Structure formats: structure tokens, C-alpha cells
Amino acid sequence: MKQNSIFYIAIGVIIGFSVAVFTLMESPDIQTTEASSSSEDVYPKFRNQDPQTVSYTLIAQDAEIEVAPGVISTVWTYNGTVPGPTLRFTEGDDVTVKFVNETPYAHTIHFHGTHDSANDGVFPQIMPGEEYTYNFVAKESGLFMYHCHAFPTSEHVRMGMFGGMIIDPAIRPMEPAREYFFALSEFDPNNALEYFTEYYMINGYANQYMDNPIQVVKGELTRFYVAGIGGVLQSPFHVHSTIMKVWPSGILWNEPYFAQTHLIGNGDTAIIEATWDEPGKYLFHVHGIQEERGSMAIIEVLEDDSSLLDVQTPSNNKGSHSMIEWQEDLIKSLEQPQLISYDNLGVSAVIDAVKVSTDQVSIVKDSWNPDIVESYVPLAIQVNLGTTVAWTNDDFVAHTVTDTEYSFDSGFIQAGNDWSYTFEKSGEWDYFCTLHPWMKGTVSVI
């Protein structure tokens, strides 16, 4: 109880401080100062004269894919591949993403960049069989990532639920270039939460550009959109035989700088430009142990673009050529996804367990793991009317105790904490964890 009070006081202080800061930020004086800054060096914010309405559908689907030659793994995907589709629109566009969860676990889409809570992809968690529509106006131009933010988030990201979002500038377009997208991720076929993983891939399939080099043209500007999905290791991104111009954090308001290797943190991105003057084969890779575990790649510099005309597509950046469709086709042809479908998603399993007379329930260690059948122990209890039942979280991640009809909801019970509820009505109360909806329990009140 005392811990709770301190917690609420701390939250109160934080909210108070946030409101104060927010009020300051909203101050018209400060806004005027920002808006009147006419320096040519300030990247123009949000002045799309012709905003478009853009819609996507992303479906959470489990799939068996090939992740390296001969290695088949079960992964969690958006639309069947790892990474998910690259979304692309322009600063100021009104973007709608319909999300459908066709898997047995809760998932979400968390977008990096600016938006409100309902579109942040944390609250609510999207349950098996459910749909949710995200909507936001693209506020910043650059490269942002999206990924699942169900819990434990590292597991959902490691399992394959991530992708890139290119937001092109409304004015001041980028120089014409040939464009590629790379997601740098970690994967272990045996344990999604392994600290050091067996593979460190570029775009979901180990070493895919060794046999299928990316192709650029000598003297022509090349642009890489690079997302550091990561997990444990950071991604020092390195190209051979030239230096790179880098927009740090993939945000086009930043000043670019020049680099031989650019460190991309987990959850961060970079936009990188480079040119090769001499035809030939060159390497690019994550600099470190990752290069021996799936992230080595070849750039083939061609004399001219004649062999690329069939595979390049027009880019949103005027005069640029996008190779991203070619990349997505390559990913599909290598991964060969076999989608896994499930019956009766979201239908509660009938709990057929012996009822135990107790007012204490443990949320057991590792109960976040869907393979644990009994997450709430005992999973069926019987109490008399008016009894206060206490749930203790003995796991190491947060859980909830939520009535399937929402008459009670614990909110997040952090690891080691407990929560109690007094039953004032008789009946059968089925409950579950909103973060891990496969966790189910029941209380019979007599």
C-alpha cells in the first residue's frame, strides 16, 4: 500500500511537470519564434500544399519462412514477410493503417514519429481476431520504423514484426537518386529472446545480397534508407570504397554529415547517400560480428542503367528510381512464406478445471509464454460472496487481471506487485490478461 502511494505521488509529480512543460511548449510566443525563423537552414516543417489520403492494410500473420539457405523458421509477420511492407507517403499526408490480427497472440503497430495515444500502438493491445484502425498525419519527413509493441516487445520484434516508413519531404525534395531500403535485425531460430542470436540479417534473410547484389550505376547518387531494428547489438553500418553522407536518425531536419561507418542504434534509422565512381563489386555490411552472421552484402556498380530499367520503379522523390519493389519481390522469393491460419480466434477456451477454494492467485513465472498452460495458479478458484481475492505477479513482466466482460480490470500489475478485488456479486467470472490474452482464469463466487 505504501509503495502504491509513493508510486502515485511520483506519477502526480511527473504529470504536473509534463503539463507545465507542455504549456510552455504551447506558448504562442515560443511558437512565433519558431515559425518566424526564416533561415534557409531550418528544414521546413509540415507545409504540404496538396496533402493526400493514404491507406494501408497490415495483417498480423504467423508464417513459416526460410531465413537462411535451408533454414525454415516460424515467424510473426506483417503481411507474411520479414520485414513487413515499406510504407511510403509524404509529409502532411493523412495516413490510415487498418490492422487485422489473424494470430493467436495480441499484437499492435507502434509507429515512430509524432501522433496521439490512440495511434501509438500500445493502448489498446489488439487481440486475436480483432481489427483496429490507426490514423495520423505524417508530421516529420525522413525514415521511421514501425513495429509491434505487444509484450514482451523484444520478442515480438525479434520474431519479425517490423518494417520501414519513408516519409518524403513536401518541399525541398531530395536529390534524384537510386533508392534502397534495409532493415537490420536479429533472429535466432531456437529462442527469440536469446541474448546473442544466430543471425543478424539485412531484410529478414541472411546474406541475401551476396547472391543477389544490389545494383547501382557508376557516378549516380545512391540512397539507402536504413533501419536499426536491433535488439541487443547496435548496428555500425559501413560501405566500402567511398564515404557516406548521413542524415542522423533518418530525420531530414538534421544536418547531414560525412561518415566511413555510421552507428545506428536500436530503434533508430539513418538516410545515407553515396556514389561509386568505378564499376566493380564492393561490400556493405554491419561492422562487427554481425557481418559473419548474415549482414554481409554486395553492391555491384554498373557502367550504365540499361539492365535496371525493368526493375526500377518511380520514386516519390522526383527524378529518383526506387528499387524497393524489386527488394520486396526478392524477399518474397527467398523467404517463400507459408502462412499459418487458425480457427476460432478470440473465442475463449472453456476452462474445465477443478475449482480450488482460495483467495490467493499467483501469476506464475514465465506466464507470458503462450506454452505455459496454467498462467494463473490456481486457474479456477471458488470463493464466498464478499471475498477479496488477491493476485500476485510472480512473473518478471507486467500482467493484468481483466474480466472478459470488463466489469473489473487491474490495469498493469508490475512484476512483484499484487492487486486485489472484492467480489460483491455471485456468478462465474472469466478473466484474462490484456497483454497476453492466452492467459485465462476463472473465479466462481457462491
Can you give the binding site for Cu ion, defined by CB under 5 A? Answer: 107, 148, 150, 156, 161
Query: Is the CB of 142 or the CB of 231 nearer to Cu ion?
Result: 231
Residue placing its CB nearer to Cu ion in the complex, 150 or 244: 150
The helix (run of H) or strand (run of E) holding residue 234 is none
CB of 154 to Cu ion, least distance (A): 11
**Parallel, antiparallel, or unpaired: how do β-strands 199-202 and 142-147 relate?**
unpaired
Dist CA 142 CA 269 (whole Å): 9
Residues forming beta bridges with residue 298, ordered by sequence position: 283
- The 10 Å Cβ neighbour count of residue 24 is 10
Torsion angle in degrees (nearest 10) through CA of 307, 312, 314, 315: -120
Residue 95 or 161: the one with the smaller Cβ distance to Cu ion is 161
- Nearest distance from residue 82's CB to Cu ion, in Å? 12
Least separation in angstroms between residue 305's CB and Cu ion is: 40
How far apart, in whole angstroms, are the C-alpha atoms of residue 51 and residue 302? Answer: 37
Measured CA to CA in angstroms, residue 210 lies from 66, 248, 253, 349 at distances of: 16, 27, 34, 47
Instruction: Name the residue nearer to Cu ion (CB basis): 158 or 262.
Output: 158
Nearer to Cu ion, 150 or 389 (CB): 150
Minimum gap (Å) between residue 229 Cβ and Cu ion: 13
- The Cα 418–Cα 434 span in angstroms is 16
CA-to-CA distance for 121 and 112, rounded, in angstroms? 10
Nearest to 441 by CA among 401, 388, 413, 408: 401
Q: How many helices (H) and strands (E) does the chain have?
A: 5, 31
Rounded least distance, CB 309 to Cu ion, Å: 39
**Which grid cell sits at 342?**
487458425
Q: What's the angle, vertex CA 146, arms to CA 166 and CA 397, rounded to 5?
A: 165
Least separation in angstroms between CB 347 and Cu ion: 20
In the sheet that 142-147 helps form, which strands lie side by side, from edge to edge?
87-90, 162-168, 142-147, 110-111
Q: Which CB, 151 or 182, lies closer to Cu ion?
A: 151
Look-up of cell digits 493523412: 94
- Least distance (Å) between residue 332 CB and Cu ion: 21
Nearer to Cu ion, 252 or 397 (CB): 397
Residue 150 CB, nearest distance to Cu ion (Å)? 4
Give the residue with the Cβ less far from Cu ion, 156 or 321. 156
Taking alpha carbons only, the member of 424, 426, 429, 366 closest to residue 401 is 429
The identity of residue 391, as a single letter, is W
